[in-house]
Amino acid sequence: MRTALEVGVGCGIVTAHLAPRFRTLAVDIDPAFLGEARRLQVATALVDVCDQQALCKAVQAHSPGGVDLAICSEVLEHVALPTQALRLLYLSLKPGGLLILTTPQRGSIAEAVAGLLRFRVVRSLARAAYREPVEELGHISLMRASDVRVAASACGFTVLEHDVMGAYLPLVAEFLGRPGQRFLARLEGAMRQTAWSSPLLWTQCWVLIKPAAG
């Protein structure tokens, strides 16, 4: 059976798709996020993606020789050394293995708006508008697409696919319901077509391969 590594489990949405198809190892730095993976009877490890010894040990115990697929979604922006994390993901893969990576775009509209949350008055207004706790996102290592491409190449990866998505305008998606969602979907489609506007979309998505000769 093919093997997979999921770095950053979150609420377990990706884990639920991986579990029936791969012999999966789910790792996270927060023990609270591993509960859903355990419920799905997926192997887990409490590991920081930048901890080379711990991550390599967990992967080798799960899949000697490396995994066929690694998924790292919305994680790199939370770690202080994203290039080191990419390098360890490269080492975790078998030759010919794939990494599916997503991370926010530095300079996107959504990140610019989220950056305002460091101001107390903005957080207070957001909490009043959304009627729920609103905190800073904790994105300490935002990267542009060019940064990811350079880092991936330095680690030994080859880029197979790259795309961007996620048009965001404050209050539109949250308060205009389906008409707002349809408007943002059309806006996203238009923004993806031009070089100047695509960096304003929220998320960059990558499919990277560890060359078979690597």
Residue 1: the pLDDT is 84
Residue 98: the pLDDT is 98
- The token pair that represents 55 in the structure block: 């991550």
Residue 203: the pLDDT is 97
CATH 3.40.50.150 fits 3-105+139-171+201-209, yes or no: yes
Phi-psi map region of 212: left, alpha, beta (phi>0 left; psi -120 to 50 alpha): alpha
One digit per residue, the tens of pLDDT, for the chain of length 214 reads 899 999 999 888 999 999 999 999 999 998 988 988 898 889 999 999 999 999 999 999 999 999 999 999 999 999 999 999 999 999 999 999 999 999 999 999 989 888 877 777 766 776 766 666 656 678 899 999 999 999 999 999 999 999 999 998 877 877 888 899 999 999 999 999 999 999 999 999 999 999 997 4
Q: How far apart are CA 181 and CA 185, in angstroms?
A: 6
DSSP string, 4-39: EEEE--TTSHHHHHHTTTSEEEEEES-GGGGHHHHH
- The token pair that represents 147 in the structure block: 């940064």
Closest CA to 208 of 155, 144, 172: 155
**Three-point CA angle 26, 90, 87, nearest 5°:** 100
Residue 5 and residue 17 in contact, taking contact as beta carbons nearer than 8 Å: no
Show me where the domains of the chain are located. Answer: 3-105+139-171+201-209
Residue 168 and residue 104 in contact, taking contact as beta carbons nearer than 8 Å: no
Q: Which amino acid, residue 201?
A: L
Q: How far apart are CA 160 and CA 207, in angstroms?
A: 5
